[in-house]
Chain A
Amino acid sequence: EAGVAQSPRYKIIEKRQSVAFWCNPISGHATLYWYQQILGQGPKLLIQFQNNGVVDDSQLPKDRFSAERLKGVDSTLKIQPAKLEDSAVYLCASSSNGDNTEAFFGQGTRLTVV
């Protein structure tokens, strides 16, 4: 079974530029998550999709971050414009239906904003 795929692995941009991350979840997984992991901290949930609908985006900075999951499969997370404090690893995860299922994580995208 293929795992969660993310690209790119690394990205360096200047502040005020825009950037996009892509995620392909495990086939058949209805739930998709985007987490932000700042160095030395635990992952923080940015947005959670159930199929192509948003379940939780309470911690997504909506003035600069956006995410979509068209057709309930792949997802993109965009930052525009980026700030220095956005430097982090962005993790995508997916899980099958059911509230007692664990999440499977991709390797993440390491973003550096200079």
Chain B
Amino acid sequence: AQSVAQPEDQVNVAEGNPLTVKCTYSVSGNPYLFWYVQYPNRGLQFLLKYITGDNLVKGSYGFEAEFNKSQTSFHLKKPSALVSDSALYFCAVRDPNTGGFKTIFGAGTRLFVKA
């Protein structure tokens, strides 16, 4: 069965510093991986996805993520954090080998960027 883990409940970083939000996954084959962001009282917004190809994918708002198959990880990164990046971040995995495109979400990581 597919699963996804976000080992950190919270990440704190100073504005201007690089940030990393961690995600590891478990699927039977090659995964499709997604990152979403949730601002207060808002629905989830898509940031980026890895389907195939280059292991480094770039997304919205300057975020990027690196797919590492050997470590089964898909960490979210940004070179320079902004206060406005403070939000709840969710990693999600989809196993294309199972029918129906079922997507499993992690528990989320709250990012605090301090000015």
A-side interface residues toward B, CB under 8 Å? 4, 31, 33, 35, 40-45, 48, 50, 55-56, 91, 93, 95, 99-100, 102-108
Contacts and interface: CB of A to CB of B under 8 A. Distances in A.
Interface residues of B, number: 25
A4 B45 CA distance: 12
A90 to B, nearest CB: 11
Given A41-B108, A100-B32, A50 B100 contact: yes
A91 B107 contact: no
Given A43-B90, A100-B32, A48 B102 contact: yes
B89 to A, nearest CB: 10
Interface of B: 6, 32, 34, 36, 41-46, 49, 51, 90, 94, 96, 99-108
B24 to A, nearest CB: 14
A109 to B, nearest CB: 11
Nearest to B47: A102
Contacts of B96: 99-100
A33 B107 CA distance: 18
B45 A42 contact: no
25 contacts: A4-B43, A35-B105, A40-B107, A40-B108, A42-B90, A42-B106, A42-B107, A43-B44, A44-B105, A45-B102, A55-B100, A55-B101, A93-B44, A95-B101, A99-B94, A100-B32, A100-B51, A102-B46, A102-B49, A103-B44, A103-B46, A103-B103, A104-B46, A105-B36, A105-B44
Contacts of A55: 99-102
A45 B100 contact: no
Contacts of A107: 41-43
A45 B42 contact: no
A108 B43 contact: yes
Contact of B101 (A41, A44, A99): A99
A67 B41 CA distance: 24
A40 B107 CA distance: 7
Contacts of B108: 40-42
